[in-house]
Amino acid sequence: MEQPASAYFMEERHDPNETHTLTVLVANEPGVLARVIGLFSGRGYNIESLTVSETESHKHVSRITIVTTGTPMVITQIKHQLDRMIPVHRVVDMTLTGRSIERELAMVKLRGTGEHRVEALRLAEAFRARVIDATIESFVFEITGNTGKINQFIDLMRPLGLVEVSRTGVAAISRGPEGM
Amino acid sequence: MSDSKPHDPNQMTGAAMIVRALADHGVKHIFGYPGGAVLPIYDEIYQQSEVEHILVRHEQGAGHAAEGYARSTGLPGVVLVTSGPGATNMVTPLADALMDSIPLVCITGQVPTHLIGNDAFQECDTVGITRPCTKHNWLVRDVNDLAKVLHEAFYVATTGRPGPVVVDVPKDVQFATGTYHPPRKSDVHISYSPRVKGDANAIRKAVSMLAGAKKPIIYSGGGVINSGLAASKLLRELVEVTGFPITSTLMGLGAYPASGPNWLGMLGMHGTYEANMAMHDCDVMLCVGARFDDRITGRTDAFSPNSKKIHIDIDPSSINKNIRVDIPIIGDCGNVLGDILQVFKSEAKKPDTKDWWKTIATWRARNSLAYKTNNDVILPQFAIQRLFEATRGHDTYITTEVGQHQMWAAQFFGFEEPHRWMTSGGLGTMGYGLPAALGVQVAHPDSLVIDIGGDASVQMTMQEMSAAVQHELPIKIFILNNQYMGMVRQWQQLLHGNRLSHSYSEALPDFVKLAEAYGGVGFQCSKPGDLDGALQEMIKVKKPVLFDCRVAALENCFPMIPSGKAHNEMLLPLEANDEATAAAFAGGKALV
């Protein structure tokens, strides 16, 4: 009788992965972020981006925006698992509503002189990035936009003397007059 | 000093609030173990008589005892343990209760607030450690929050999908004085509101699907037990009104009586052939309070391929987690079953399932629980059957440990009522049964409480024999002693080339002497002919008992779906010769 290599063989699912942006409204209390993050690590879900801040201080409500990837079945699970946590008020799948705006902010530091410096400034202008710090051999640009635009800008900066990048992660809001 | 203000009865210390809150929630018994960080609470317990404290010998024992208490009564089990090791020893029962949806309220002591984060003596990050193994937990830093948190803790543990909660109370908060208030609605997070009533539209659709079924099956689970006695009643009525066959998970045994005409036996990895074949071939499946876990489904891509599925569950995250269903109904089992019944009675009539029952009869005829009888050695299946017969007419509660004996108990002990069967299903905790029996006996002092155990499992929490003797709890520990970790050995035989790595118990204690050393009573039986007499003797004893039942050492648990196989690829006991076994497991994809 042939033995399997491991008794822990799991059948893999091969549904294609999707990327979704979830907005989670939570009670702003100690440990709530740890609960959310622990859920993701404990159940093996991905976090591509995560932003958190209190948004309605009088109601003690914080808003967490999570970008995650997974099969449609996993994405649904993530939403249900989040929703059943006691301090979670609401979970909205911004990707499914199809009417959301996503933005993030990045600060991009460059070091260089001469032609590279001029080129970087030109590109920054094209991307509507602002200079928020400068020395004779460096710049820090501030850029906002969706993830794709920021990725593109960083890629362009790389050969021009990119030193480091700090990004906020994605924040999302729905279009139109209605709130969540 | 003159005190002109009248004394406010709601002003009290945190420790007093805890005891007061327990009384306000109708708690009669708590299980616990004292230590430095809970001494103020123990001092309050000493000075009152409303809440009785059961002292265990290890915090894990307190947790499982509370689980047994909860499972056999439908009430929350309450545990009180100290900080640090007291809390970490509770992690296993908390994880166990979370998996099996058992309501537990665990109060842990914590070092004083000014020492938190300081690596103080007996400090650990209790809320951090228990966060993934509780439904919710709280660290209370202000005595004026304590009443609210305690009331919310009871509410969260017992409503929706029940589960364990932890309230971590630093010692200075226990000493501090604040204002208590009785339970009120505003104690609970506004974000927590579990859905009880099922969607009327979905229920209507479900009824028409059930009414049109030719090969239906009802698959019920622990959710029906959790929902309360009414849910089991409604389930029985639905089976009667529809005439459908019914099977159940390990956790759901007793919701429908094992002697009922429509009972197919348990399903899943060690379920009956007829239950698994009916699941595989059915055209409409009604899943009530069960969660399609991997011991039930086997290979998910081959699970019941041609059926429409209706799934009733109070937890939306159970829906479509493992198996896609056609009609999900979110709500409490009892509530939804009531609605289904009402609509079914007024709008549908009993579908014709005669042909389906004929097919089921041919599967039943395979007699999948058969075993070769033996006059010289006690077979474990025989032992359970004789135990079942011996307990007829008694008010019996059964707990188990985890392993082969657990599966044999599920297969051969007939459960007629809910709340009579306490076992560790999801987490599979060896050592659960003995302390769980202790908890059951506390709740039902005059009943016959038996832990069906294995020689390996019972040794994990054997120390609670001492607690049983102290509190005069006459639990009966019926050990199927085969000198092996039987289920481990079975898997090693089937999947690891019969290399029995560390599954033989080299140095078992003399269980009879061990029982006597604790102050209990020991029995030993190794001959089939002596068993009935010994069992009668055991039942008569009004003290804790260890019954060392020596059984056939190499017996294996069948029928079995080799994991990673489908329901219609079962291995039956009398056909499980070496060749068939090898074929069934060839290239086996074993989940665990």
CATH of the domain at B386: 3.40.50.970
Q: Active-site residue B285, yes or no?
A: no
Do residue B544 and residue B411 come from a single domain? yes
Q: Active-site residue B171, yes or no?
A: yes
Structure tokens of A115? 């032609």
Average pLDDT, chain B: 95
Do residue B356 and residue B442 come from a single domain? no
Q: Is residue B427 part of a domain?
A: yes
* Residue that finishes a domain, picked among B333, B364, B395: B364
What does the alpha-carbon distance between residue B448 and residue B546 come to, in Å, rounded to a whole number? Answer: 14
User: Which of B319, B586, B589 lies at the smallest CB-CB distance from A9?
Assistant: B589
Using a CB-CB distance cutoff of 8 angstroms, which residues of chain B are in contact with residue A64? none
Do residue B481 and residue B404 come from a single domain? yes
Q: How far is CA B427 from CA B53, B95, B206, B268, B293, in A?
A: 27, 7, 32, 16, 12
Using a CB-CB distance cutoff of 8 angstroms, which residues of chain B are in contact with residue A1? 497, 582, 585-586
Using a CB-CB distance cutoff of 8 angstroms, which residues of chain B are in contact with residue A87? 189, 191
Q: What is the 3-state secondary structure (H, E, C) of B62-97?
A: HHHHHHHHHHHHCCCEEEEECCCHHHHHCHHHHHHH
pLDDT at A2: 41
Do residue B149 and residue B41 come from a single domain? yes
Q: What is the DSSP string of B259-273?
A: TSTTEEEE-STTS-H
What tens digit of pLDDT does each residue of B489-540 get? 999 998 899 999 999 988 999 999 999 999 999 999 999 999 999 999 999 9
> How are beta strands B136-139 and B164-170 bridged, if at all?
parallel
Look up the pTM and report it: 0.94
What does the alpha-carbon distance between residue B244 and residue B397 come to, in Å, rounded to a whole number? Answer: 28
Q: Is B457 exposed, middle or buried (0-12, 13-18, 19+ CB in 10 A)?
A: buried
Nearest CA in chain A to B159: A86
* Residue that finishes a domain, picked among B364, B386, B420: B364
* Residue that finishes a domain, picked among B310, B332, B364: B364
Q: How far is CA B201 from the centre of its chain?
A: 33
Q: Is residue B3 part of a domain?
A: no
Do residue B84 and residue B216 come from a single domain? no
Q: How far is CA B103 from CA A34, A105, B30, B93, B287, in A?
A: 23, 45, 13, 11, 22
Q: Is residue B36 part of a domain?
A: yes
Q: Is residue B424 part of a domain?
A: yes
What does the alpha-carbon distance between residue B36 and residue B45 come to, in Å, rounded to a whole number? Answer: 15
User: Which of A1, A31, A84 lies at the smallest CB-CB distance from B315?
Assistant: A84
Do residue B397 and residue B525 come from a single domain? yes
Name the β-bridge partners of B300. Answer: none
Interface of B with A in 68-107 (CB under 8 A): none
Looking at residue B403, the DSSP 8-state letter turns out to be S
What tens digit of pLDDT does each residue of A132-177 get? 999 999 999 999 999 999 999 999 999 999 999 999 999 999 999 9
Provide the percentage of residues in chain B whose pLDDT is more than 70.
Answer: 98
Question: Cβ contact (<8 Å) for A86 and B590?
Answer: no
> How are beta strands A18-27 and A61-70 bridged, if at all?
antiparallel
Mean pLDDT confidence for B330-334: 97
pLDDT at B577 over 80: no
What is the distance in angstroms between the Cα of A11 and the nearest Cα belonging to chain B?
A: 8
Do residue B159 and residue B25 come from a single domain? yes
**Which residue range is the domain that position B474 belongs to?**
378-548
Structure tokens of B154? 């009871």
First to last CA, chain A: 59
User: Which of A9, A38, A80 lies at the smallest CB-CB distance from B317?
Assistant: A80
Do residue B145 and residue B280 come from a single domain? no
B486-495 vs B578-585: helix axis angle to the nearest 10?
Answer: 80
Q: Active-site residue B122, yes or no?
A: yes
Do residue B161 and residue B215 come from a single domain? no
Polymer length in residues for chain A: 180
Q: How sure is the predictor about B586, in pLDDT bands with cuts at 50, 70 and 90?
A: low
- Strand, helix or coil at A108? strand
Interchain contact A38–B (C-beta under 8 A): yes
What does the alpha-carbon distance between residue B360 and residue B338 come to, in Å, rounded to a whole number? Answer: 27
User: Which of B156, B299, B588 lies at the smallest CB-CB distance from A86?
Assistant: B156
Q: Is residue B422 part of a domain?
A: yes
State the ipTM, two decimals: 0.89
Among the options B148, B171, B309, B476, which is catalytic? B171
Rounded to 5°, angle at Cα A103 from A101 and A105: 170
What tens digit of pLDDT does each residue of B235-293 get? 999 999 999 999 999 999 999 999 999 999 999 999 999 999 999 999 999 999 999 99
Do residue B223 and residue B260 come from a single domain? yes
What does the alpha-carbon distance between residue B79 and residue B154 come to, in Å, rounded to a whole number? Answer: 12
Among the options B121, B372, B513, B536, which is catalytic? B121
Q: How sure is the predictor about B3, in pLDDT bands with cuts at 50, 70 and 90?
A: low
Question: Cβ contact (<8 Å) for A11 and B589?
Answer: yes
pLDDT at B455: 97
Domains identified in chain B, total number: 3
- Which residue has 């029962």 as its token pair? B93
Do residue B382 and residue B354 come from a single domain? no
Residue B236: give its domain's CATH number: 3.40.50.1220
Q: Is residue B186 part of a domain?
A: no
pLDDT at A5: 39
Q: How sure is the predictor about A178, in pLDDT bands with cuts at 50, 70 and 90?
A: confident
Q: Is residue B506 part of a domain?
A: yes
Rounded to 5°, angle at Cα B122 from B117 and B123: 20
Do residue B344 and residue B394 come from a single domain? no
pLDDT at A12: 55
Q: Is residue B4 part of a domain?
A: no
Sign of the Cα pseudo-torsion (B235, B238, B239, B240, in order): positive
Q: Active-site residue B59, yes or no?
A: yes
Exposed e or buried b for every residue in B398-422, given b needs 16+ CB within 10 A? bbbbbbbbbbbbbbbbbbeebbbbb
Among the options B59, B152, B274, B401, which is catalytic? B59
Using a CB-CB distance cutoff of 8 angstroms, which residues of chain B are in contact with residue A10? 591
Nearest CA in chain A to B131: A35
Q: Active-site residue B269, yes or no?
A: no
Interchain contact A148–B (C-beta under 8 A): no
